[in-house]
């Protein structure tokens, strides 16, 4: 059993990773902002230890980590990944300064593994699946901050011989996903026999199911031969266009309605080519995604159908103001 610290556990991937680590029998400590929404971890609150602290409070953070003395640290706290999260100061503070403070404080007592959640957005727009060593061309404040955090983790890993690892995540989806994102909205609408507003049908993503993402985090933490400062792309290596997503939904949910393409404006980062080069993760970590896009969608749909209260909550949260955090 490991003593584990997580940041970002009230978010989508963090909530799923927390459950995975609890299932594996580890002792879990969550570092949470005092105002962080906690609906995703409400049912497991009695099984974990909560510490209300900001990653910008360096001294308090150090004291807390000194008491916990974690073996593994999973850093998933982030801000700016959604189109309505545009506060640049908060983006830099959360993604870059927060990472620096957490890693520096963690180095005080040492650790077995420090896992940083990166993003495929760090690469910017590419016309091919980029490798981990490729030039980064981030095209948003969020991507710039995340790229800086990844580089800092690599710098500390290489110079201090610390086992820091960054997983550059592609388009994760699954239970507890942010309510306004595509998959939750699509499923909730599809259950009613209609489609939500859609972007260009050629917009593409590498959709990776969240259980495969949590597997990657655990495997990377357990793998003690990983090179300090390593970076791994975590995606399926399969590109899915929006027209393919809609075709699946139309068939699986028996939707007769006509999809309204381009009813939503594309975002700056939307592209027709977005696919992971996951060769390094496959060869080094022996990590391989278990779920296809279709299988992941079926599992996510089943989760909604099995959790009526969650379904109702999502329906409510979809209608709250876009700048709200949940």
Q: What is the pLDDT of residues 20-58, one digit of tens each?
A: 999 999 999 999 999 899 999 999 999 999 999 999 999
* Mean residue pLDDT across the chain: 94
187 and 256: one domain? yes
Does position 13 have pLDDT exceeding 60, yes or no?
Answer: yes
pLDDT at 264: 75
Q: Which of 186, 219, 234 is the last residue of a domain?
A: 234
pLDDT at 262: 86
CATH of the domain at 129: 3.40.50.720
pLDDT at 290: 98
pLDDT at 269: 66
Question: Lowest-confidence range among 125-134, 193-202, 264-273?
Answer: 264-273
CA distances from 142 to 47, 80, 158, 230 (A): 33, 5, 24, 21
Instruction: Flag whether 80 is in a domain.
Output: yes
Percent of the chain topping pLDDT 70: 97
- Enclosing domain of residue 84: 3-171+209-234
264 and 146: one domain? no
Q: How confident is the model at residue 321 (pLDDT cuts 50, 70, 90)?
A: low
pLDDT at 192: 94
302 and 218: one domain? no
Q: Please, what is the Cα angle at 50 between 46 and 53, to 5 degrees?
A: 165
54 and 180: one domain? no
For 73, the enclosing helix (H) or strand (E) is strand 72-75
183 and 134: one domain? no
194 and 218: one domain? no
Q: How confident is the model at residue 79 (pLDDT cuts 50, 70, 90)?
A: very high
pLDDT at 326: 57
pLDDT at 320: 59
CATH of the domain at 299: 3.90.25.10
Instruction: Flag whether 22 is in a domain.
Output: yes
For 280, the enclosing helix (H) or strand (E) is helix 279-280
219 and 297: one domain? no
Measured CA to CA, the distance from residue 74 to residue 165 in angstroms comes to 10
Q: What is the pLDDT of residues 297-317, one digit of tens each?
A: 999 999 999 999 999 999 998
Instruction: Flag whether 86 is in a domain.
Output: yes
137 and 104: one domain? yes
Percent of the chain topping pLDDT 90: 90
Measured CA to CA, the distance from residue 87 to residue 71 in angstroms comes to 33
201 and 250: one domain? yes
Q: What is the pLDDT of residues 58-78, one digit of tens each?
A: 999 999 999 999 999 999 999
Does position 198 have pLDDT exceeding 70, yes or no?
Answer: yes
pLDDT at 82: 82
Of 271, 250, 174, 269, the residue nearest 213 (C-alpha): 174
β-pairing, 204-205 with 240-241? Answer: antiparallel
Does position 323 have pLDDT exceeding 80, yes or no?
Answer: no
152 and 262: one domain? no
Measured CA to CA, the distance from residue 164 to residue 160 in angstroms comes to 10
pTM of the model: 0.95
Instruction: Flag whether 249 is in a domain.
Output: yes
CA 98 to chain centre: 16
pLDDT at 325: 54
Please tell me the total count of domains within the chain.
2
154 and 194: one domain? no
């Amino acid at each position: 059993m490991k003593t584990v610290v997580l940041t970002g556990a009230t978010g989508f991937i963090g909530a799923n990773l927390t459950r995975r680590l609890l299932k594996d029998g580890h002792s879990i400590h969550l570092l949470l902002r005092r105002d962080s929404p906690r609906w995703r971890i409400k049912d497991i609150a009695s099984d974990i230890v909560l510490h209300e602290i900001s990653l910008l409070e360096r001294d308090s953070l150090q004291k807390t980590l000194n008491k916990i003395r974690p073996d593994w640290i999973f850093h998933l706290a982030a801000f700016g990944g959604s189109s309505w999260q545009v506060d640049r100061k908060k983006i830099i503070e959360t993604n870059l300064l927060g990472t620096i403070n957490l890693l520096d404080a963690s180095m005080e007592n040492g650790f077995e593994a420090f896992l940083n959640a990166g993003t495929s957005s760090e690469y910017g727009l590419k016309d091919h699946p980029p490798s981990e060593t490729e030039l980064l061309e981030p095209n948003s404040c969020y991507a710039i901050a995340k790229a800086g955090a990844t580089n800092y983790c690599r710098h500390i890993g290489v110079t201090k011989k610390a086992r820091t690892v960054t997983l550059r995540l592609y388009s994760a989806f699954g239970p507890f996903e942010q309510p306004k994102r595509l998959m939750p909205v699509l499923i909730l609408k599809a259950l009613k026999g209609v489609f939500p507003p859609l972007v260009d049908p050629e917009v593409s993503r590498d959709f990776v199911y969240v259980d495969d993402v949590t597997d990657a985090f655990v495997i990377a933490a357990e793998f003690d031969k990983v090179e300090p400062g390593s970076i791994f792309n975590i995606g399926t290596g399969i590109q899915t266009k929006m027209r393919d997503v809609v075709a699946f939904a139309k068939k699986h949910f028996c939707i007769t309605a006509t999809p309204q393409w381009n009813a939503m404006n594309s975002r700056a980062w939307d592209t027709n080519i977005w696919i992971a080069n996951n060769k390094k993760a496959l060869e080094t970590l022996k990590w391989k995604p278990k779920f296809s896009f279709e299988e992941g969608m079926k599992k996510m749909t089943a989760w909604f159908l099995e959790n009526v209260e969650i379904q109702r909550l999502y329906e409510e949260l979809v209608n709250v103001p876009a700048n709200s955090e949940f």
